Homo-oligomer: A and B are copies of this chain.
């Protein structure tokens, strides 16, 4: 066995390996950095498109598409003004065709749209970063839902130290909006980073976070079920007809039987955004002695007209029972520009008329993940104290 030959073969192998990997596209783009975040929080976007006649960049950092300019090498670029610290999404438009940034491998899916992400640090978005702090575990599991006659996928965050301890932990049930699923709070909501960071800062108690799928017609998020790699749709059946609320008991049973929880009201919180706020509202009065902390983030309020579910037959009676049983916090968060703003005014009037105690948090902006991430951080900081 000639050792030198081996070494030569190996060195050769590595150099071939670097060209041979299937479907990789280093070559033409490897020296392009996009997005590039500068020290002052301005951002440069770049796209190599020598044949294009017009390239723009669009994203939630700008109200209008921004015109990019081409250099002699066919690389289009645009630099923003300094941006507020935030987690942004963006895409390019090349000759009218929307496309992702081939130099940014970091994406988030929102319903049927997949956009690049970009984190501008030194402010609010530091809460959404992976920092050098202890990290919790994120597990994708399947639980049995007898009420829906199927196994369903669920995402569970357990806090740092959970596995090494024998303690019992409180649980936050965290629910997504319409078009979302059990991936939404992890990917778009940065829930595991928000929890890791706030726990490390001593601002949140260590807690389990349960991110269920509120679309009971689904087993799992698109691509994660036996339906295969299909195209997601916004409007699914059986999302706001009472079935999720009725069968939420399956999730409570699964969690209390599978984790070291505090299986009583003092150890349970429930919150959600938009449709998930609607679910939190109705689950918490349908199981009226189950949750000490309730969070409605940009919540829808009223059921669809056609639903005959028992969940919605006596909403005011349910709220009254919930109030009589008592709870620690009923938190209603809403952006000034949210299209559900007036609906929530009406809901708060109903609560006021019942002397139902709640805390109202009004923010700038509207029906956006930016607001929901902020609400999540504020809400978890108030729990289980």
* A residues in contact (CB < 8 Å) with B: 1, 5-7, 9-11, 13-14, 16-18, 20-26, 29-30, 33, 49-52, 59-60, 89, 94-100, 102-107, 109-115, 117-119, 121, 129-132, 134-135, 137-142, 151, 153, 163, 178-179, 220, 222-226, 228-229, 231-232, 234-235, 258, 274, 300-305, 316, 339-340, 342-343, 346, 349-350, 353, 366-369
Contact = CB atoms under 8 A, between A and B. Distances in A.
B346 A95 contact: no
B21 A110 contact: yes
A21 B111 contact: yes
B300 A13 contact: yes
Nearest to A178: B17
Given A13-B339, A25-B112, A137-B142, 17 more contacts: A6-B302, A17-B339, A18-B234, A21-B179, A22-B60, A22-B110, A23-B60, A23-B89, A24-B110, A51-B97, A94-B97, A99-B99, A100-B100, A119-B228, A119-B229, A130-B226, A138-B139
Contacts of A29: 112
Contacts of A139: 137-140
Given A5-B346, A25-B98, A52-B95, A305 B229 contact: no
A165 to B, nearest CB: 13
Contact of A228 (B11, B114, B129, B342): B129
Given A9-B343, A228-B129, A231-B103, A23 B113 contact: yes
Given A113-B23, A130-B228, A10 B301 contact: yes
Contact of A105 (B25, B114, B303): B114
A10 to B, nearest CB: 4
A9 B111 CA distance: 24
* Closest CB pairs A-B (n = 3): A139-B139, A99-B99, A10-B302
> What is the copy number of this chain in the assembly?
2
A50 B225 CA distance: 34
A308 to B, nearest CB: 14
In the complex, which of the residues A6, A7, A117, A132 has the most CB atoms of chain B within 10 Å of its own CB atom?
A6
A314 to B, nearest CB: 12
Contacts of A96: 49-51
Contacts of A343: 6, 9-10, 13
A301 B369 CA distance: 48
Contacts of A94: 94, 97, 99
23 contacts: A1-B349, A6-B301, A7-B302, A7-B305, A9-B343, A17-B367, A18-B234, A20-B339, A21-B367, A22-B60, A22-B367, A23-B113, A25-B113, A100-B114, A103-B112, A104-B229, A105-B223, A119-B229, A129-B228, A134-B151, A137-B140, A138-B140, A139-B139
Given A89-B23, A99-B99, A343-B9, A231 B33 contact: yes
A332 to B, nearest CB: 16
Contacts of A109: 105
A168 B9 CA distance: 43
B98 A100 contact: no
Given A7-B305, A13-B300, A368-B22, A105 B112 contact: yes
A20 B177 CA distance: 13
